Amino acid sequence: MLKVNKLNKSFGENKVLNDISFELKSGEIGVLLGKSGTGKTTILRCINGLEEFDRGEITVDDISIKNVKDINKIRNKTGMVFQNFNLFPHMSVLENIIQAPISVAKISKEEAVNTAKKLLKLVDLEDKINSYPFELSGGQKQRVAIARACALTPKVLCFDEPTSALDAESIKKVINIINELKNKKIAILIITHDIGFANEIGDKIINI
């Protein structure tokens, strides 16, 4: 589960997050809606330890942190799929997925490769295992990013506008994958401006 309690964040004089609170159960899908610049991406970055927050509390899987310095307590429990995917360009699809499990989580290469193959099956990209990001379409890159974010078996998975660059067919695939992750009891937090997508996939709408 994920709980965000009275999260506050300013960039200098710009108060971006003002007592943001919400909660997601395991297997629940929350959709973050709000105008451009309201701080949606900042919330995801705080949850994933990519941004310091000023005040408040983030709880993942019953472990609470009140300061980004404690992020290591929850870091392996969260994953993020970035808006521009952030794949490592010099690494193959397989290498992108096994990098963190091997170097961060100290999982054996054999086990990491086995997990990566299962995840590539989940996102329907088994045939692209040795391709490089530049050889993939936008929708394929998106699905590699999802597989990579799942490689550390997160309890919470965050998506920043996952459908913004995708055609209708790819959006359907992403919806199916997200529903499979929901069945694995992952709490899922999605930023979108696509109200149709939000209504189709969300269990809960969080207005920012």
User: Which residue, 27 or 34, is less far from ligand ATP as judged by CB?
Assistant: 34
Q: Is 39 in the site for ligand ATP (CB under 6 A)?
A: yes
CA distance 199 to 204: 9
Q: Is 48 in the site for Mg ion (CB under 5 A)?
A: no
DSSP designation for 167: -
Query: What distances in angstroms separate CA 158 from CA 52, 60, 89, 111, 132, one per listed residue?
Result: 17, 13, 22, 24, 24
User: Which residue, 39 or 101, is less far from ligand ATP as judged by CB?
Assistant: 39
Indicate which single residue of 13, 36, 106, 169 sits in contact with ligand ATP (rule: CB under 6 A): 36
Indicate which single residue of 19, 37, 184, 196 sits in contact with ligand ATP (rule: CB under 6 A): 37
CB 35 to Mg ion: min, Å:
11
* Beta pairing class for 29-33 and 55-60: unpaired
User: Which residue, 40 or 148, is less far from ligand ATP as judged by CB?
Assistant: 40
Q: Is 11 in the site for ligand ATP (CB under 6 A)?
A: yes
30 three-class SS: strand
CB 58 to Mg ion: min, Å:
18
- Report the partner that residue 142 touches, choosing among Mg ion, ligand ATP, none (CB closer than 5 to 8 A by kind): none
* Region binding Mg ion by CB under 5 A among candidate stretches 17-25, 38-46, 125-133, 192-200: 38-46
Count, residues near ligand ATP per rule CB under 6 A = 11
User: Which residue, 41 or 78, is less far from Mg ion as judged by CB?
Assistant: 41
Q: Is 41 in the site for Mg ion (CB under 5 A)?
A: yes
Q: Is 5 in the site for ligand ATP (CB under 6 A)?
A: no
CA distance 79 to 82: 10
Task: Using the structure block, give the residue that is written with the tokens 């309890």.
Answer: 155
CA distance 183 to 27: 6
Count, residues near Mg ion per rule CB under 5 A = 1
Shortest CA distance to 29 belongs to which of 140, 135, 184, 146?
184
Q: What is the DSSP string of 81-123?
A: E-TT----TTS-HHHHHHHHHHHTS---HHHHHHHHHHHHHHT
Q: Where are the beta strands (DSSP E) in the chain?
A: 2-11, 14-24, 29-33, 55-60, 63-65, 78-81, 156-160, 187-191, 204-207
Q: Is 40 in the site for ligand ATP (CB under 6 A)?
A: yes
Residue ranges that bind Mg ion, judged by CB under 5 A: 41
Residue ranges that bind ligand ATP, judged by CB under 6 A: 11, 14, 16, 34, 36-42
